[in-house]
Amino acid sequence: SLTIGIVGLPNVGKSTLFNALTKNDALAANYPFATIEPNVGVVGVPDARLGTLAGIFGSAKLIPATVDFVDIAGIVRGASTGEGLGNKFLANIRESDAICQVIRAFDDPDVTHVDGDIEPSRDIETINTELILADLQTLEKAVPRLEKEAKRNAKDKAAQETLQAARDAQEALDRGTSLSVAEGVDTDRLRELNLLTVKPFIYVFNLDSEELADEKLRTRLQELVAPSEAIFLDAKIEAELAELEEDEAQELLESLGQTESGLAQLARVGFNTLGLQTYLTAGPKEARAWTIKQGATAPEAAGVIHSDFQRGFIKAEVVSFDDLVSGGDMQTARSAGKVRIEGKEYVMSDGDVVEFRFNV
Ligand code: GDP
């Protein structure tokens, strides 16, 4: 499955946040693999549609889609040159599909900052510089090889374009621009190099709880990382929320002027950043959101439930969530002609409510 790696300087609240992620274990029963890897936390993606479906189908359980977060060891200045946790860090981050950078914005005299004072923009730059340096090293090694290949295959357009993409990437990185936001670099050509700054970024600002509702501050911090997504939370509060019953948690959130926990926001933004979407199934047992890549076909979607479903796929009975809800139940949606029979070529839409027919 797709994972998001959590990175950040020491003492910014990564462990606190990650513990909150893993304590959020209402899901553990459905996702046993979550407990196998100690550094993986599985978080449910909030989805109000599940409650509605459960109402229509009388489902006993709600099972949301999830996002996997991997706790990657702290990064320090010099990590790209193998200092500190250098190489292990880089290997872990290479395996992640997106990077979640935790940045300290809370002030606490009892918690030392590695660079003295609290300065989010400097911390972001420290980390991004390490990632950029690591990519520059990768490219420096790769370019002579790509040059040779381009020369040897002078008529091979792909080889020329790959070399050009590598040079463009070097230029962007030399200017201090991460490849995920650099313009005019054909990063698709560089996939085999597994570069770090190509991955999408999410920034998590760890604030004091009193600052959470400070719109001015949030705007200023968001501007530091635009066009990437920013999330604002208090890691300590998230840890508390993870221990509370749902109604108590809701109360605490409201007292802070929040409607949704930071973890829930993180899961939602992470899910979108990974280019994922969901389709839904429902019955008396459970209402469930299943994760697919955008553009997945009906058989591929069936394969997420079970590989046999994909192999033996015959057809899918599909109704959009909105059509189902406006009808009120399956029967009504069917009589209204809103329930479609789709075949192997069908490309799934987000929020399709589906029943698959298959041969075993
Ligand atoms: P890590 O090194 O990035 O994993 O940071 P930790 O999660 O271990 O946090 C370092 C210290 O900062 C711990 O003492 C935490 O209790 C504290 N801490 C984490 N988040 C917050 C926060 O939002 N506010 C305050 N005041 N302290 C925090």
Closest-CA residue, ligand 1 atom 20, reads: 13
Q: Which amino acid is at 259?
A: T
Spacing of C-alpha 299 from chain mean position: 24
The Cα-based distances of 311 to 57, 151, 302, 318, 345 in angstroms read 28, 44, 9, 19, 14
* Residue bearing the CA closest to ligand 1, atom 15: 13
Domain ranges of the chain: 295-358
Q: What pLDDT was estimated at residue 81?
A: 63
What is the Å distance from ligand 1's center to 267 Cα? 20
Single-letter code of the amino acid located at 322: D
Beta-carbon neighbour count of residue 148 at 10 Å? 12
Comparing C-alpha atoms, which of 82, 102, 139 is closest to residue 232? 102
Q: Is 327 annotated as a binding residue?
A: no
Integer Cα distance of 28 and 6 in angstroms: 20
- Say if residue 11 carries a ligand binding annotation: yes
- Contact in structure between 117 and 22 (CB atoms under 8 Å): no
pTM metric for this prediction: 0.84
Partners of 281 in beta bridges: 288
Q: Residue 209, annotated ligand binder?
A: no
CATH fold, domain 295-358, is: Ubiquitin-like (UB roll) (3.10.20)
Nearest CA to ligand 1 atom 9: 13
Q: Ligand 1 site: residues with CB under 6 angstroms?
A: 8, 10-16, 74, 106, 108, 111, 206, 208, 234-236
Ligand 1 atom closest to residue 8's alpha carbon, by position in its atom list: 3
User: Residue 199 annotated as binding?
Assistant: no
**Residue 284 · residue 220 · CB < 8 Å:** no
Which of 39, 103, 111, 115 is the best mutation target for the ligand 1 pocket, counting ligand atoms within 8 Å of the beta carbon and taking the most?
Answer: 111
Asked whether the beta carbons of 341 and 317 are under 8 A apart, the reply is: yes
- CA nearest ligand 1 atom 2, residue: 11
Q: Which residues of the chain have pLDDT under 70?
A: 24-38, 73-88, 114-115
Q: Which atom of ligand 1 is nearest to the CA of 106?
A: 24
ipTM: 0.95
Q: Is 15 annotated as a binding residue?
A: yes
